[in-house]
Amino acid sequence: MRGGASSVKGDVAVLGAGMHPWGKWGRGFVTYGRIAARAALADAGIGWSEVRSVVGAQTVRGGYPGYVAGATFARALGWQGARVASVYAACASGAQAIDTARAQILAGLADVVLVVGADAAPKGFFAPAGGERADDPDWLRFRVLGATNPAYFGLYARRRMALYGDTPDDFALVKVKNAAAGALNEYARYRTPVTAEEVAASAMVADPLRLLDICATSDGAAALVLCSMEFARRRGVRDPVRIRAVSTVTPTFPRTVLDLPDIGTDSAVAVDPSPESFRASIARTAYEEAGAGPADLSLAEVYDLSTALELEWYEDIGLCGPGEGAKLLRSGATAPGGRIPVNASGGLASFGEAVPAQAIAQVCELTQQLRGRAGQRQVAGARVGITANQGLFGHGSAVIAVR
């Protein structure tokens, strides 16, 4: 599947990619989204008026304009009559926006689609929406348990330590690797290398995870211009980066791994659980759709909400067997120059999460890498990349891009 002139029937082309730097800028999500969108349009070399559909990844932190993100961005860019959609899927919102755009292109509903996600994040822990809502699991986990997102990450990390013998030193190494990569990325929020000693000296947040093991929450925006392969050809782009698979599958019952924001898992009394984890099923579905496998990958962008979670992703996307994540990390295989660099962008460790933008930013990174335009971060000869992410309420995504 590497290279080759013929395109699979389901391919869509990435004509342009653009981002607003991650950080805490004190402005609104619309401003960030508009800047990223214009950057993507400029990168694509097309005018805004040529875009026939806008898909916005929603934010729950921007009031009504956040819920109707697609229309909000279309208005900010100037109404021009394009069709519009807005999607929300927690951390996978950006990938579902990409998937919506892809479906429209493959169905022939639109030739050129703009995908935008942007967020302006609060300081500190993500908290649930206000009010007294005893029927909302996200409200309940805070009210009854004070269970923040890092608390769940801490549970997963300790479970790995008990099952596989991972150590806090292993987790720290993930941060060291990703901080070094992020230092080379102009869009990253944190651009200073970090040492293992600095991780170990940072404050404990959710034992065994420390402040530098856990991703921050950031402002940021990312946008893509996607189009049909035919449109790309007409524009003289003969060898575009292509999106070959987008996986947005849900879990299967019974789900036996505690997921945010759950207080209890499903019961496996009536039905045996699948031997395959939800995260692994997300990646497998993408591989099947792309007709590719882990051995084909040049690089991967995975959702390192915590350092320990990056190690789980190594296993879930098939880079190594269960429990072998730390060993793979220590071998250097996932570092720049290794067999399969993971989070060459710097990952969430260097960006901090801007929820609706993050999955789009992952694809922006694949795009630059597959174009060979990632500068000092460039993975040599990159041809196939995967992104993977997971959000609360049973969401997750994986995107495979090729060139």
Partner 1 sequence: MSRTRTPVVAGWFTDDAAEEDFRLLGTRCSGCRTVHFPREDGHCRNPGCPGGELEETPLSKRGTVWSCTDGRYRPPPPYVSDPGVPWTPYTLVAVELAAERMVVLGQAAPGVGVAALPVGSVVEVVPGVLDEDRETGTVHTTWHWRPVAADGDAS
When binding is defined by CB under 8 A, the residue of 156, 180, 183, 293 that contacts partner 1 is 156
Instruction: Please list every residue from 329 through 358 that binds partner 1, using CB under 8 A.
Output: none
Binding span for partner 1 by CB under 8 A among 4-12, 109-117, 126-134, 275-283: 126-134
When binding is defined by CB under 8 A, the residue of 24, 38, 83, 159 that contacts partner 1 is 159
Instruction: Please list every residue from 226 through 265 that binds partner 1, using CB under 8 A.
Output: 253-254, 256-258, 262-265
When binding is defined by CB under 8 A, the residue of 198, 266, 289, 324 that contacts partner 1 is 266
288 near partner 1 (CB under 8 A): no
d(CA 311, CA 329): 8
Cβ 353 vs Cβ 59: under 8 Å: no
Smaller CB separation from partner 1, 87 or 209: 209
When binding is defined by CB under 8 A, the residue of 25, 48, 67, 142 that contacts partner 1 is 142
Which residues does 126 contact at the CB level (< 8 Å), separation at least 6?
148, 149, 217
Max CA-CA distance within the chain?
A: 58
Cβ 246 vs Cβ 236: under 8 Å: no
DSSP bridge partners of 209: 206
* Cis, peptide link before residue 356, omega less than 30° from 0: no
Cβ 13 vs Cβ 102: under 8 Å: no
Side chain identity at residue 243, one-letter code: I
Cβ 104 vs Cβ 98: under 8 Å: no
Instruction: Please list every residue from 177 through 216 that binds partner 1, using CB under 8 A.
Output: 203-209
140 near partner 1 (CB under 8 A): yes
d(CA 250, CA 57): 18
Smaller CB separation from partner 1, 266 or 296: 266
80 near partner 1 (CB under 8 A): no
Smaller CB separation from partner 1, 215 or 361: 215
Residue among 349, 309, 341 nearest 190 (CA): 349
Q: How far is the CB of 166 from partner 1 (least distance, A)?
A: 12
Q: How far is the CB of 354 from partner 1 (least distance, A)?
A: 19
Binding span for partner 1 by CB under 8 A among 98-106, 154-162, 317-325, 334-342: 154-162
Q: How far is the CB of 341 from partner 1 (least distance, A)?
A: 30
- Binding residues for partner 1, rule CB under 8 A, total 48
322 near partner 1 (CB under 8 A): no
Smaller CB separation from partner 1, 106 or 257: 257
C-alpha 46, offset from chain centre: 26
Smaller CB separation from partner 1, 120 or 157: 157
When binding is defined by CB under 8 A, the residue of 5, 9, 79, 132 that contacts partner 1 is 132
Please calculate the CA angle 104-108-112 and round it to the nearest 5 degrees: 65
Binding span for partner 1 by CB under 8 A among 73-81, 109-117, 137-145, 309-317: 137-145
* Cis, peptide link before residue 193, omega less than 30° from 0: no
Smaller CB separation from partner 1, 133 or 330: 133
85 near partner 1 (CB under 8 A): no
User: Helix (H, G, I), strand (E, B), or coil: what is residue 2?
Assistant: coil
Smaller CB separation from partner 1, 143 or 191: 143
| CB-neighbour burial class of residue 159 (10 A; exposed 0-12, middle 13-18, buried 19+) | middle
d(CA 167, CA 315): 17
121 near partner 1 (CB under 8 A): no
When binding is defined by CB under 8 A, the residue of 61, 75, 158, 191 that contacts partner 1 is 158
DSSP 319: S
| CB-neighbour burial class of residue 235 (10 A; exposed 0-12, middle 13-18, buried 19+) | middle
394 near partner 1 (CB under 8 A): no
| Tokens matching residue 377 | 């971060």
144 near partner 1 (CB under 8 A): yes
Cβ 292 vs Cβ 315: under 8 Å: no
Q: What stretch of H or E contains 32?
A: helix 29-44
Binding span for partner 1 by CB under 8 A among 46-54, 97-105, 143-151, 293-301: 143-151
Smaller CB separation from partner 1, 71 or 140: 140
Binding residues for partner 1 (CB under 8 A): 124-125, 127-128, 132, 134, 137, 139-148, 151, 154-159, 162-163, 203-209, 253-254, 256-258, 262-271
